[in-house]
A and B are shown apart, each in its own frame.
Chain A
Amino acid sequence: MSLELYITQQIINAISLGSLYALVAIGLSMIFGILRMTNFAHGDMMMVGGYTTLVLQTLGLDFGWAVIVGIALGGLAGVIVERVAYRPVRGAPEVTLLLTSLAVTYILENLGILIFTSSGRNFPLPDWMNSAFQLFDGQITFTQINLLTVGLTAVALGTLGWFVTRTDLGLGMRAAAEDMGAAHLVGLDVNRLIVAAFAIASAFAGLAGILWAAQAGVVEPTMGFTPLLKAFVGAIIGGFGSIAGALLGGYLLGALEVFIVAFLPSEVSPYRDAIVFTLLIAFLLFRPNGVLKRVQEVKL
């Protein structure tokens, strides 16, 4: 296969993976920006989205509707978690928030195992989605799922962009992310803003979960775990707390992962995750504000 075709295929793979990381990273950054909280349970919203869509399809609902409800339920799950677990500890030291989110993810994953068992369940796709475009004599495969991923991500991002620039709620969220105290002072209903942030962030994660399940073909209770960590790295690289940063970081990370495996010698590829996290540590040490400066970091 020619090099150009190989690279093109890898670019397609990178965009597909990067979209998923970006969706999750944006949610993480939103929550951090507004609450200064690292939400480890974010990845489980992916699981909620994935299982909801699966269950609804099993009950006979059309794929399209199942996806919409899945996204909505992902958002709802985030709102419920915020209300039940995070609001009571709001204002506590950062570490307490982080630990609480760890406990939440532990509970949610085990709930998933309890209800659905730990083996993967087949994620059904409508027949028209199971085909792929084979270009250049099969050397480039571009599946319907790739198309769906890119399409839905674009729609989500577009909606978000409109939301944070044109609606009161969206502008309020940005204000609160800049300075929570000031937002409070000018009379913004901070609770509403936080709930909105969680709803949107978790809905994005739900969508990412559905797309992830579509690509992998299975849904399983721990599916959100690894993407969460990766998205986290992406968000930090891009600039933690900034939506644009998360977007950029997500795609950068997707590209990095794909290219490590595709172009480096095969002895290196198993260390892909180690490389990614070393990069994380390097950024935390030397450029904690990420590529796009955002967060003020206190360092010694």
Chain B
Amino acid sequence: MSRKQSFLIVAAGLALPALFSIWAPALMNDYFVRVLTVMCINALLVISLGLANGFTGVFSLGHVGFVAVGAYVSGVLSLTDANKANYLPDLPAWIAAIHLEFLPSTLVAGVVCVVLAFLVGAPLMRLSGHFVSVATLGFLIIVNVVLVNSDTYTRGARTFTGVPLQTTLPWAMGWLLLGLVVLARIIYSPKGRAWRAVREDTIAAQAVGIAVLPTRLSAFVIGSFFAGVGGSLYGHYIGSFSPASFYFAYTFSLISMLVIGGMRSLTGAVVGVVVVSLLSELLRNLERGFDIGIVSVPPLYGSSQIVLGVIFILIMIFRPSGVMGDLELSLGRIAALIHRGGKETKT
């Protein structure tokens, strides 16, 4: 396949979802648009989670800590002056004076997370296996405690509200596509192969000259940038949140999407988001009680989470590599399929 053809395929692969996201609100019910928007945000968070977890073998449980930082940083910067006075009356003057639009505040959130990730990752990425998981869990908890106690900046554990509702489907989809492109370029490059070497066997990787610590650290930092961006998107989508919104429940939600879809491919991450989101929505509606013919099932609040947990365990037992396994539904493969299909009809 010529370079021109592959370029066209990639362009189409990006343009189609982008156009769809812009036209979607006119085509479909507002409820579905909202579900899609959340899915895009979660997909961005899951692929960035998968970067460290699936591709370098460092299972970070602290990802949501960065999401929280992203949401709060961008939230504080985007509040209107009136809302700042209302909700954060004691904010230091220099912060209160800053008021950023959506894109700048998102970028600032991402950058802050990058800096934080460097500081946190430098010591933590030395650890392996579940020690790093536990340590990053500690990070999540520390972030939570700090947010809860920083009353003047975050309203503590109370509801942080008034964030302008600026996340629309085009924005969410746009950032997701950007994330996919960036991550795909990195993962399927020599650097990415180095990452996967580190995941498979740290000693062998070191033996061929791959420095493990910088490898892990770069994955961690890049992942945290998109976590911060995702946090900002989420904050501007939901408008109100509190530190508890970014704690264990959300962590488990993202992990289950990653694991069910497949930790080792980008497509897996996206598939996982779609499957788990649809399943959650479906189960949440069934939770309110429903009728099948003459049988009336009463509301069983909380059962949707149990079902999700059980599915998670079944995947761990029967298909630990997730739905997609190692398969990557890359644009190249799609193009090859189309190519082959074209050839067949000719003969």
Q: Interface on A for B, CB 8 Å cutoff?
A: 38, 85, 88-89, 92, 94-96, 98-100, 102-104, 106-107, 110-111, 113-114, 225, 229, 232, 236, 270-271, 273-274, 277-278, 280-281, 284-285, 288, 297-300
The complex places the Cα of A114 from the Cα of B304 at a distance, in Å, of 10
* B330 contacts partner chain A, Cβ-Cβ < 8 Å: no
Picked from B127, B305, B312, the residue with its CB within 8 Å of the CB of A110 is: B305
Query: Contacts A99-B316, A114-B301 given: A229-B128 contact, CB under 8 Å?
Result: no
* B131 contacts partner chain A, Cβ-Cβ < 8 Å: yes
Residues of B within 8 A of A94 (CB): 129-130
* B80 contacts partner chain A, Cβ-Cβ < 8 Å: no
Residues of B within 8 A of A271 (CB): 145-146, 149
Q: A110 near B313 (CB under 8 angstroms)?
A: no
Query: Contacts A95-B133, A96-B316, A104-B309 given: A300-B212 contact, CB under 8 Å?
Result: yes
Picked from B146, B306, B316, the residue with its CB within 8 Å of the CB of A274 is: B146
Which among B14-22, B135-143, B160-168 touches the partner chain? Answer: B135-143
Residues of A within 8 A of B142 (CB): 273-274, 277-278
Residues of B within 8 A of A284 (CB): 127, 131, 134-135
**A-B CB contacts (within 8 Å), total count:** 120
Query: Contacts A104-B313, A106-B252, A271-B149 given: A281-B135 contact, CB under 8 Å?
Result: yes
Query: Contacts A85-B313, A100-B316 given: A285-B130 contact, CB under 8 Å?
Result: no
Picked from A225, A278, A300, the residue with its CB within 8 Å of the CB of B213 is: A300
The complex places the Cα of A225 from the Cα of B244 at a distance, in Å, of 14
Picked from B124, B125, B255, the residue with its CB within 8 Å of the CB of A102 is: B255
A sample of 12 cross-chain residue pairs with beta-carbon separation below 8 angstroms, ordered by A number, consists of: A88-B317, A92-B316, A94-B129, A98-B130, A99-B59, A106-B252, A270-B149, A273-B145, A277-B142, A278-B142, A285-B127, A300-B202
Residues of B within 8 A of A273 (CB): 141-142, 145
Name, among A85, A111, A225, A281, the residue most crowded by chain B CB atoms within 10 Å (CB to CB): A281
Residue of A nearest to B149 (CB): A270
Q: Would you call the interface of chain B mostly helix, strand, loop, or mixed? A: helix
The complex places the Cα of A110 from the Cα of B284 at a distance, in Å, of 14
* B302 contacts partner chain A, Cβ-Cβ < 8 Å: yes
The complex places the Cα of A118 from the Cα of B134 at a distance, in Å, of 27
Q: B138 near A280 (CB under 8 angstroms)?
A: yes
Q: A110 near B133 (CB under 8 angstroms)?
A: no
Residues of B within 8 A of A288 (CB): 127, 131
Residue of A nearest to B142 (CB): A274
* Contact mask for chain B residues 183-220; partner A; CB cutoff 8 A; 1 contact, 0 none: 00000000000000000001000000000110000000
Q: A103 near B145 (CB under 8 angstroms)?
A: no
Residues of B within 8 A of A229 (CB): 137, 141
Known: A99-B312, A110-B309, A113-B302. 20 other contacts (CB 8 A): A85-B313, A88-B317, A95-B59, A103-B309, A103-B313, A106-B305, A106-B312, A107-B313, A110-B305, A111-B306, A229-B141, A273-B141, A273-B142, A273-B145, A277-B145, A284-B135, A298-B129, A298-B202, A300-B125, A300-B202
Residue of A nearest to B252 (CB): A106
Residue of A nearest to B313 (CB): A103
Q: A103 near B134 (CB under 8 angstroms)?
A: no
Residues of B within 8 A of A99 (CB): 59, 255, 259, 312, 316
Residues of B within 8 A of A274 (CB): 141-142, 145-146
The complex places the Cα of A99 from the Cα of B130 at a distance, in Å, of 10
Residues of A within 8 A of B134 (CB): 38, 232, 236, 280, 284
Residue of B nearest to A299 (CB): B126
The complex places the Cα of A38 from the Cα of B59 at a distance, in Å, of 13
Residues of B within 8 A of A103 (CB): 252, 256, 309-310, 312-313, 316
Residue of B nearest to A110 (CB): B305
The complex places the Cα of A19 from the Cα of B339 at a distance, in Å, of 68
Name, among A100, A106, A271, A280, the residue most crowded by chain B CB atoms within 10 Å (CB to CB): A106
Residues of A within 8 A of B316 (CB): 89, 92, 96, 99-100, 103
